[in-house]
Structure 1
Amino acid sequence: MEATMKPSHIGRKISRIRELRGIKQEALAFELGVSQQSVSRMEQSENVEEETLQKVAKILGVSTEAIKNYNDEAVLNIISNTFNNHDNSATLQGHIIHYSPSFNPIDKLMEVIEENKKLYERLLESERAQNELLKKMIKD
């Protein structure tokens, strides 16, 4: 029995990589200088012109070979082998990166709110001073 090779669906691979990178069709379309519908059609196509593929690869931050050889199963294996819920580390090109935020986002938000309050108070004081100056000018 002869095994037949299933043709590589480049458009579907572009779509999967785009989704994994968190890029919307509209953003990819904008970078390519085409409409969102054109990107949708490209992602439904089995084949993509080499020149277009190179542009897409550059925008997605991968090589054309990465798109051509993309495999969902391989990606899932990489994720399952490098991710666990017990630490905040990830691997990037063989290097372990530990992600532990050193700040509380709520504290940062409160700092911004306080800064906005101070700016508002300064603006309000400036407006009061201008009003007083105008009142003085009107009386004179």
Structure 2
Amino acid sequence: MNDKDYTRSTETIEENHQGRNLQRIRIYLGIKQEVLASDLGISQPQVSIIEQQGVIEVSLLEKIATVLGVTPDLIKKFDVERAIYNINSYKDSTIQHGDNSTQNIHPLDKVVELYERLLQSEREKLELFINQKKSVIN
């Protein structure tokens, strides 16, 4: 086996590692583990554990894909060209709500929403810090 064959086999193994693929997609979208965890209703350490798994349970994989606005297949078999195509063209994903209504989610809208939530969290931390500093001074 030469170096070129070894590189190909390593890439194939990596592409099929669903946890690592999830991590790459999450990072590509600029989403922190904490934000993904919040949207999934789990803790950040649980997201970290999921990202270490070679295979993610199908129902969880589908839920994660919906939250990220990508297809489950993208997470299963990640490659850069497919990722760019999938993320840019998967614009009309739908989420079923308890009342059987549907809501269109656009990946960019989701990223903006997550960014705004993160920004609000940072503002709240800053406000707490300022209030704590004022109480120490007084």
TM-score by length of 1: 0.49
Which structure has more RCO (C-alpha within 8 Å, separation ≥ 6)? 2
More helix by share: 2
Q: Give 1 or 2 for the bigger CA radius of gyration.
A: 1
What is the TM-score when the length of structure 2 is the normalising length?
0.49
